[in-house]
Structure 1
Amino acid sequence: MSSNLKESIERLQEAFRSIMRVIGPQLSEPVPGLTGQQYYILYQLEQKGRCTVGELADSMCVKPSAITAMIDRLDKHDYVIRDRDEEDRRVVHIRMTDGGKDILSQAKQKRQDTLQQHFSALSPEEMESFVSCFEKLALAVHAPKKE
């Protein structure tokens, strides 16, 4: 690794830590009582309509048992409903309730407001460059590894 790349990565890591110390807590609980992980589950349900516990676990790279505990808390607040599959009773589908849709909408707005507040420090050109770099990195991360 070149010294310039190494130095740039160190600067990036320090800047990222500094930013996340401030923004992280604001994003991790966008509305009281809804954790970042619960937000992500509701977001996934909004995107897909309904999912099994296994599908949610895969999307979050965690074990199904971890998702089950999160689903229990979401269910307790009436944000999700569990439905048994009619053909295979062992399969349980999770879907969002109207209450879940409402809390997700509130959380998305809060996250949008928070990010808008902080990203307003960038010019439109800087923001476009920043987003383009992140999109390029996202593609590189998901590209097949060369051997």
Structure 2
Amino acid sequence: MDLKATLIELQCEMVAERSLVNPKEITWLQYDILYQVEKEGKILPSGLSLILGVSRTKLSKALKELKTMGYIEQIPNKLDGRELYTFLTDSGKDLLINISRKHMTLYEIAIKSFTNEEQENFIDLSNKFSKELRKARIRKDE
């Protein structure tokens, strides 16, 4: 298999796995938002839009739905009251903890599949590739 085919195959497998662990009551975009908010602690929608590569309109709709579900809260930015910092509620944190438990399957398979050296290489290469994908997406949106 060449690199292109390998990347497509990996993407297909990851989407299939994601479908197994992502609860039906939220969309993939909503999960991605929750994940990024957890990672950042609190974040402005403009930052989320760049990180996730989605339009502000699409993001705004997803944020509104997450707020209605009680997974996030928003507070005004003290410097610009029109912008709202987004952060997780306890319910949002609990939801991510439950999803994280389901992600353990991926981790367990990786542990069984890779030697310690291969794990380190996979981590390095995956992080390098993810970083480049994000940089390219952010540059495209600017």
Identify whether the pair has TM-score above 0.5, normalized to the shorter chain: yes
Shift of 1:57: 0.8
| 1:62 equivalent in structure 2 | 54
Structure 2: distance between partners of 1:139 and 1:26: 22
Alignment of 1:84 with 2:80, yes or no, is no
Larger helix fraction of residues = 2
Once residues 52 and 68 of structure 2 are traced to their aligned partners in structure 1, the CA distance between those partners, rounded to angstroms, is: 21
Match status 1:13 vs 2:4: yes
Q: TM-score, normalised by structure 1?
A: 0.72
TM-score by length of 2: 0.74
Considering only aligned residues, what root-mean-square deviation do their CA atoms show, in Å?
2.7
Question: How many Å apart are 1:13 and its aligned residue?
Answer: 2.3
Identity among equivalent positions (%) equals: 24
The corresponding residue for 2:44 is: 52
In the alignment, structure 2 segments of 5+ residues that lack a partner are 136-142
The structure 1 segments of at least 4 consecutive aligned residues displaced by more than 6 Å after TM superposition are none
Amino acid in the other structure paired with 1:89 = G
Look up the SS of the partner of 2:97 in the other structure: helix
Answer yes or no: is the 8 Å Cα contact 1:29–1:36 preserved in 2.
no
